[in-house]
């Protein structure tokens, strides 16, 4: 992550596993390992503050990318999953 970035403040927190579950729900089976790796890497890039590069990589159809609508769903699910985890932690405290 670039210096000066704080997860949850100026960079999004993501639940990568929730995003990958949504990828399967979008119709991309787990058997498509290369595609899942590409999307997992894109989510990790997004979490590091590299939003534009993450989206370009995620929707690059020439290299196992997915359509923009599915990427938006995957990203939203990853954000929602992280928010749910944060909410559960704050309620436990």
Torsion 67-69-29-85 (CA) sign = positive
Q: Hey, where are the domains in the chain?
A: 16-92
User: 5: pLDDT confidence band, cut at 50, 70 and 90?
Assistant: low
Residue 37 has pLDDT above 80, yes or no: yes
Q: Which residues pair with 11 in a beta bridge?
A: 7
Question: What is the pLDDT, as a whole number, of residue 13?
Answer: 87
Least confident segment among 2-11, 24-33, 51-60: 2-11
User: In terms of pLDDT, which residue wins out, 22 or 87?
Assistant: 22
pLDDT over 90, % of the chain: 67
Q: How confident is the model at residue 12 (pLDDT cuts 50, 70, 90)?
A: confident
Residue 22: closest CA among 73, 83, 81, 80 = 73
Both tokens assigned to 64: 């196992």
Question: Which pair of tokens denotes residue 80?
Answer: 């929602």
């Amino acid at each position: 992550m670039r210096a000066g970035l704080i997860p949850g403040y100026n960079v999004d927190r993501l639940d990568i596993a929730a995003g990958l579950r949504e990828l399967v729900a979008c119709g991309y089976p787990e058997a498509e390992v290369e595609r899942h790796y590409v999307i997992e890497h894109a989510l990790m890039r997004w979490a590091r503050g590299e939003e534009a590069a993450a989206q370009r990589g995620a929707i690059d159809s020439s290299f196992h990318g997915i359509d923009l609508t599915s990427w938006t769903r995957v990203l939203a699910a990853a954000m929602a999953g992280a928010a749910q985890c944060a909410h559960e932690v704050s309620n436990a405290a």
